[in-house]
Amino acid sequence: MSRATFPAAARMHRPTEFAAALAGKRIARGAFFIVTAKFHSVLASNSYDLPKTTSVDLNKSTLVVPKIARLGLIMAKRFAVHASTRNALKRVVRESFRAQRHDLPVADFVVRLNMKIHDMTLSELKYAARQEVDAHFLKARRK
pLDDT class of 65 with cuts at 50, 70, 90: low
Mean pLDDT of the chain: 84
- Give the helix ranges, DSSP H, for the chain: 15-22, 83-100, 122-142
The answer to whether the CB of 21 falls within 8 A of the CB of 12 is yes
Mean pLDDT (whole number) for 41-60: 48
Q: Give me the half-sphere count of Cα atoms (radius 13 Å) on the Cβ side of residue 130.
A: 13
| CATH architecture observed for domain 8-142 | 2-Layer Sandwich (3.30)
Model pTM score: 0.79
CA distance 31 to 71: 20
Asked if the model's pLDDT at residue 117 lies above 80, the reply is yes
**Using CA of residue 77, residue 25, residue 101, residue 70, what is the dihedral sign?**
negative
